[in-house]
Structure 1
């Protein structure tokens, strides 16, 4: 396998939940949120592609780099729309599956090095994805189709097949 295809495979991996990080002890960190079973999928409708970019977990995805974020959508009227979709996975009796999926919008105008995103929305969607909620109804059909194709094709489609009907019904056929 070439280095490039090895890097591509490494980037396009979902983080599957591991054993309980607390191992039964009730010490420091109990009650904190673990993000180890969440991955961030970038939907780029401009290039008709979807891909995992774990750097989005720290607001450092390729889409978010080298731009200054604004709270005002009007600043980036000529920007390109992207979606960061917070995808939570779990292991069930039939294997791993997608349990929570929530999309958050980003608009980027590289020509002026400015971008828009609602941080409260991103945080809320991350939390709701962790709780197993499906929030994609505000996404446009093209972005939802890209997301569905990516999830359904990932690792041969096993995770998609194991996923709840609510997710399958929320994304187009």
Structure 2
């Protein structure tokens, strides 16, 4: 890892433990079934550049990867797209400590030059929901992207990784 990558890693903000997730139902606020996204962060996996980073802009489809791109639902309209993953990572608090609770990935392709991209918005919303509910949905990721994600999650916080489910560790093995 280069010095630049190390410095960038240290400046990433992984703001997933804003409030105590033990208060009330995990993933939900107290009234009316409103979602609380305070324990979730979007992690971008860029297998083209061997890069993984947190980008809170993805919460509103405004990540570095998504900015100034017109997204379409037909993959054929983005023939020169490069693959990316937005991985929704939810952290919960157990009696032993915080851990990676839900981790769900969504695929997208982006052609910067053409300013076009492919993604299925409903998939992104559904995967956010699955992550909040503690599901692990990573089987559809390629092995290289999984390895990048695994290394990032381990390096970010060893305790979160150690306390994570065996399912997460096996899927990313």
TM-score range, shorter chain: 0.7 to 0.9
Correspondence 1:34-73 to 2 at 5 A:
34-73=36-75
Partner of residue 124, structure 1? 126
Determine the C-alpha separation between the residues in 2 that align with 1:29 and 1:10. 35
Q: Of 140, 145, 148, which aligns to 1:146? A: 148
Q: Structure 1 residue 29: deviation in Å? A: 4.2
Aligned residues: 164
Q: Structure 1 residue 158: deviation in Å? A: 1.2
Which 4+ stretches in 1 moved above 6 angstroms? Answer: 20-23
Determine the C-alpha separation between the residues in 2 that align with 1:151 and 1:7. 15
Q: Structure 1 residue 14: deviation in Å? A: 3.6
Q: Normalising by the residue count of structure 2, what TM-score does the alignment of the two structures yield?
A: 0.87
Determine the C-alpha separation between the residues in 2 that align with 1:171 and 1:39. 18
| Structural RMSD (CA) | 2.3
Partner of residue 111, structure 1? 113
Correspondence 1:65-84 to 2 at 5 A:
65-84=67-86
Determine the C-alpha separation between the residues in 1 that align with 2:8 and 2:172. 29
Q: Structure 1 residue 67: deviation in Å? A: 0.8
Deviation string 1:92-143 (CA, Å, 9 cap, x unpaired) is 1221110000000110001111001000110110000000000000111111
Q: Structure 1 residue 21: deviation in Å? A: 10
Preserved CA contact (<8 Å) 1:17 1:90: no
Determine the C-alpha separation between the residues in 1 that align with 2:22 and 2:167. 29
Partner of residue 15, structure 1? 16
Partner of residue 134, structure 1? 136
Determine the C-alpha separation between the residues in 2 that align with 1:15 and 1:37. 4
* 5+ long unaligned stretches in structure 1: none
Instruction: For residue 107 of structure 2, give the secondary structure of its aligned residue in structure 1.
Output: strand
Q: Normalising by the residue count of structure 1, what TM-score does the alignment of the two structures yield?
A: 0.87
Preserved CA contact (<8 Å) 2:46 2:52: yes
Instruction: Return closer, same or farther for 1:69/1:31 CA change in 2, 3 Å cut-off.
Output: same
